[in-house]
């Protein structure tokens, strides 16, 4: 058996992939992340509101998801119900974060590992998306506008009209990347000389968040962390590994289902689902933006000072869980479980994680691409 160590770069952060091979094919894989930042410890004893500033800094590309999960966890702990307007605004900014993530992932992370591409159109696109987030939330990255009890902003119809028109414009522009009927020139070009059916995985999917149009198929209560060979922890659901993310949460969609039936949970389906999800999010946001009542209160002040809570959402890469324990308005304990932990756990040969399973039986040359299809966030993992 031959073992090679590969450094995977151009993802969010870096990781090492240790491949065990036999006859050129991968037999087993181990994944190592390089750093540990100690965020959970850092939060301890701080005012719980501080988590709304610190947690977005877990990640530069999906920090807004961490903010929303934080506020949800605190709201759950302190029995706060937020208004409908605040809820819709959060859906919009979170949905947009997912969109900018997917675009950057496709053109900056994935594509260049296969062939050259003009990635500036992706940056231009995500810049415009970030601008819509900023219009509501103040800035992107790293805003803190979604706080326990609602949102800090107080929009007028001028902003709402701009948000709406910008959404339509960007949805329209996205059709060149992936159309609503599932056509994508860039995607087909990417696969011009790669087989579409490689990288099949566990075929076991989990959705825990209920935000946007997603419907959960499980309960975060059954999620457990365990130590692993890497600095990060493994994550299991009812003692099994599950794939989370755009493929998992979009199998209800007819088009994605059709691709899935043809290629199963291969890299092509995984990429297709991620790119197509953008369309579904745009459609959903354009629907809810009209359901906002501008006169509704933006914020309701929390009263309780103690409690335990959990915040679960579907973030760009899948299910994200934040748990908090608050004592006298201070953080007693904090726990973060990120989507990449689900997908990239280090299992054993007879109990593989989704990423490990997807590599088995494939050529080493394809490992980078297969691996990156999970849209790895090493930054989040090393929280």
Partner 1 sequence: MHSKPKVFWIDAVGCNGCSHSFFNYGEIKELLDKIELLYHPLLPSKEFKVQRSDILIIEGALKTTYFPRLDFNLVDLIFELIKLSKKVIVVGTCSVYGGIFGEGVLFNKKKEGKFFEFKEKMIALPGCPPHPEWIAYVIEMLIENKNILMDKENRPKEIYSYTSHMGCIRNEYFEWKIDVLEFGTKEGCLFYDQGCQGPFTHSSCNRILWNEINSKPRAGTPCFGCTEKEFPKKNLFKTETFMGIPANIPLGVGKRAYLTIAGIAKSLKNERLSKRLINEDN
Binding site for partner 1 (CB under 8 A): 7, 9-10, 12-14, 16, 32, 34-39, 42, 46-47, 49-50, 52-54, 57-61, 63, 86, 104, 108-109, 112, 116, 119-120, 123, 126-127, 130-131, 133-145, 147, 149-154, 156, 231, 297-299, 301, 379
Task: Tell me the closest approach of the beta carbon of residue 217 to partner 1, in angstroms.
Answer: 30
CB-nearer residue toward partner 1: 264 or 333: 333
Task: Tell me the closest approach of the beta carbon of residue 266 to partner 1, in angstroms.
Answer: 25
Task: Tell me the closest approach of the beta carbon of residue 265 to partner 1, in angstroms.
Answer: 27
Task: Tell me the closest approach of the beta carbon of residue 140 to partner 1, in angstroms.
Answer: 6
What does the DSSP 8-state code read for residue 351? B
CB-nearer residue toward partner 1: 143 or 266: 143
CB-nearer residue toward partner 1: 46 or 351: 46
Task: Tell me the closest approach of the beta carbon of residue 252 to partner 1, in angstroms.
Answer: 31
Peptide bond before residue 28 is cis, with ω within 30 degrees of 0: no
CB-nearer residue toward partner 1: 15 or 220: 15
| Closest to 380 measured CA to CA, from 353, 343, 352 | 343
Structure tokens at 22: 């036999």
User: Residue 286 phi/psi, 5° resolution?
Assistant: -65, -25
Q: Maximum distance among all alpha carbons in the chain?
A: 67
Task: Tell me the closest approach of the beta carbon of residue 43 to partner 1, in angstroms.
Answer: 10
How far from each other are the two terminal CA atoms of the chain, in whole angstroms?
34
Task: Tell me the closest approach of the beta carbon of residue 378 to partner 1, in angstroms.
Answer: 9
CB-nearer residue toward partner 1: 25 or 294: 294
CB-nearer residue toward partner 1: 45 or 217: 45
Cβ contacts of 377 within 8 Å, gap of 6 or more: 11, 12, 13, 59, 61, 62, 317, 338, 339, 340
CB-nearer residue toward partner 1: 253 or 298: 298
| Pairwise CA distance, residues 355 & 118, whole Å | 28
Task: Tell me the closest approach of the beta carbon of residue 76 to partner 1, in angstroms.
Answer: 19
Task: Tell me the closest approach of the beta carbon of residue 308 to partner 1, in angstroms.
Answer: 21
Exposed / middle / buried, residue 14 (Cβ in 10 Å: 0-12, 13-18, 19+): middle
CB-nearer residue toward partner 1: 121 or 308: 121
| Pairwise CA distance, residues 293 & 236, whole Å | 41
| Pairwise CA distance, residues 329 & 336, whole Å | 19
Exposed / middle / buried, residue 350 (Cβ in 10 Å: 0-12, 13-18, 19+): exposed
Residue 223 host element (H or E)? strand 223-226
**Sheet of strand 13-22, all strands in order from the earlier edge strand to the far edge:** 2-11, 13-22, 25-33
Q: Are 46 and 331 in contact (CB under 8 A)?
A: yes
CB-nearer residue toward partner 1: 63 or 354: 63
CB-nearer residue toward partner 1: 49 or 286: 49
Task: Tell me the closest approach of the beta carbon of residue 158 to partner 1, in angstroms.
Answer: 11
Cβ contacts of 193 within 8 Å, gap of 6 or more: none
| CA dist 39 → 52, 56, 373, 382, 383 (Å) | 13, 11, 27, 9, 5
């Amino acid at each position: 058996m031959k073992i090679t160590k590969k450094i995977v770069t151009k993802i969010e952060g870096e990781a090492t992939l240790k491949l065990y091979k036999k006859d050129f094919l991968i037999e087993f894989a181990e994944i190592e992340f390089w750093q540990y930042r100690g965020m959970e410890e850092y939060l301890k004893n701080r005012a719980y509101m501080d988590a709304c500033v610190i947690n977005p800094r877990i990640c530069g590309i999906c920090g807004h998801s961490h903010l929303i999960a934080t506020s949800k966890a605190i709201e759950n702990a302190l029995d706060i119900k937020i208004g409908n307007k605040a809820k819709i605004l959060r859906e919009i900014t979170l949905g947009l974060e997912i969109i900018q993530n997917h675009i950057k992932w496709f053109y900056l992370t994935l594509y260049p590992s296969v062939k050259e591409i003009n990635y500036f159109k992706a940056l231009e696109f995500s810049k415009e998306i970030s601008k819509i987030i900023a219009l509501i939330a103040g800035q992107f990255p790293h805003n803190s506008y979604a706080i326990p009890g609602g949102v800090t902003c107080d929009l007028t119809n001028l902003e709402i009209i701009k948000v709406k028109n910008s959404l339509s414009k960007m949805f329209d522009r996205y059709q060149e990347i992936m159309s609503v009927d599932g056509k994508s020139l860039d995607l087909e070009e990417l696969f011009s000389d790669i087989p579409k059916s490689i990288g099949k995985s566990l075929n076991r999917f989990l959705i825990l968040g209920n935000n946007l149009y997603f419907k959960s198929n499980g309960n975060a209560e059954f999620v457990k962390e365990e130590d692993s060979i890497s600095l990060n922890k493994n994550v299991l659901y009812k003692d099994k590994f599950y794939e989370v993310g755009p493929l998992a949460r979009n199998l209800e969609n007819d088009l994605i289902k059709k691709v899935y039936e043809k290629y199963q949970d291969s890299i092509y389906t995984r990429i297709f689902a991620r790119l197509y999800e953008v369309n579904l999010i745009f459609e959903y946001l354009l629907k809810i933006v009209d359901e906002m009542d501008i006169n509704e209160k933006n914020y309701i002040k929390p009263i309780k000072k103690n409690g335990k809570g959990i915040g679960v959402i579907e973030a760009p890469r899948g299910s994200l869980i934040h748990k908090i324990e608050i004592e006298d308005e201070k953080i007693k304990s904090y726990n973060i479980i990120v989507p990449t932990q689900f997908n990239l756990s280090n299992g054993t040969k007879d109990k593989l994680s989704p990423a490990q399973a997807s590599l088995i039986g494939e050529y080493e040359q394809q490992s980078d691409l297969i691996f990156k299809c999970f849209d790895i966030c090493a930054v989040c993992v090393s929280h």
